[in-house]
Structure 1
Amino acid sequence: MRRISTLLLMTLACTAVAQEECRVTAVHSGDRLSCQTRDGTSLSIRLRGIDAPVSDQPFGERAREALQRLTLGRTACLRATQPEADGSLRAAVWVEPADCPDCGQTLDAGRALLSVGLARWRQTDEQTAEEKGQYEFEEQEARARRIGLWRTP
């Protein structure tokens, strides 16, 4: 009964905050993935707030693998979706952390990539003041620790 209540709350929380909930079906790069909605619609998503290197750039493959570990096969909550010119959506992608089953969709995948130095903060994307502060902090911390993209000056 408790599990059913938790799942119901997770679904309600996603629909109250986001436009869409979907299952991640593919990860194409460190900031691009595909997912399928409950009605079978396929969506192409670019993570809002970050820019990750492409696979032939340094750390590009590591960024893709990290996003894959975080999201592939999981139900994602897409928050603050914005249509892109190419037909994709730019959105914050939230998933349930692998190390915390039953926690709900509490992990922002883009912010997680920033925290390990596998993406840069994309300041031009629309974000709340709170998100901007969080994303800026994660990038600054990764730079200070000289990890990932920030290993060399």
Structure 2
Amino acid sequence: MRRISTLLLMTLACTAVAQGECRVTTVHSGDRLSCQSRDGTSQGIRLRGIDAPTANQPFGERAREALQRLTLGKTTSLRAVQPETDGSVRAAVWVEPADCPGCGQTLDAGRALLSVGLARWRQTDEQTAEEKGQYEFEEQEARARRIGLWRAP
């Protein structure tokens, strides 16, 4: 019963942020950030579909900085939100590209990190067939160009 109550509370907390847009307040690593909704609710977010290196690993700080440039202070749209056991959520994070003001939230931050070799595709996350194809393609292209994580043999 206690487990059900905890899961229900987590789902309600996640729903407050996930139902609309939220503003990124902190970037913790290349695949983790915090987001605040208009009503002030804060939520930890793990980018769905990617696994970025941690700060103490090669390219960890570069991955965090890249995600920070893409998202910090921006309004984002969370898609395919799934609650995690630690109270955070796993979601695709979409932002407006810096080079296209007024275009709307058309850039998938996780896919952008894959394209520059600062993350690996996390195949265990739930994704549509189209997303799987896109994420796999971005990782393969980064490997072929030998950039970022794929620089070393």
Give a deviation string over 1:6-60, Cα, whole Å, max 9, x none.
xxxxxxxxxxxx6331000000000000010011000100000000000010000
Matches within 5 A, 1:1-150: 19-150=19-150
8 A contact 1:19–1:81 mirrored in 2: no
Give a deviation string over 1:93-152, Cα, whole Å, max 9, x none.
000000100000000000000000000000000000000000000000000000000001
- State the identity as a percent: 88
| Counterpart residue identity of residue 114, structure 2 | L
Structure 2 gap segments, 5+ residues each: 1-17
Question: Partner of 1:92: helix, strand, or coil?
Answer: strand
What TM-score, normalized by structure 1, do the two folds share? 0.88
Q: Structure 1 residue runs of 4+, over 2 Å off?
A: none
Q: CA deviation at 1:81?
A: 0.3
| Counterpart residue identity of residue 72, structure 1 | L
Question: Partner of 2:19: helix, strand, or coil?
Answer: strand
| Counterpart residue identity of residue 55, structure 2 | S
Question: Counterpart of 1:8?
Answer: none
Q: Which whole-Å CA distance do the structure 2 matches of 1:20 and 1:66 have between them? A: 24
Q: Which whole-Å CA distance do the structure 1 matches of 2:110 and 2:51 have between them? A: 9
Count of matched residue positions in the alignment of Structure 1 and Structure 2:
136
Q: Which whole-Å CA distance do the structure 2 matches of 1:127 and 1:115 have between them? A: 17
Question: Partner of 2:80: helix, strand, or coil?
Answer: strand
Measured on the aligned residues, the alpha-carbon RMSD in Å equals: 0.7
Q: Which whole-Å CA distance do the structure 2 matches of 1:114 and 1:55 have between them? A: 17
Q: Which whole-Å CA distance do the structure 1 matches of 2:104 and 2:129 have between them? A: 24
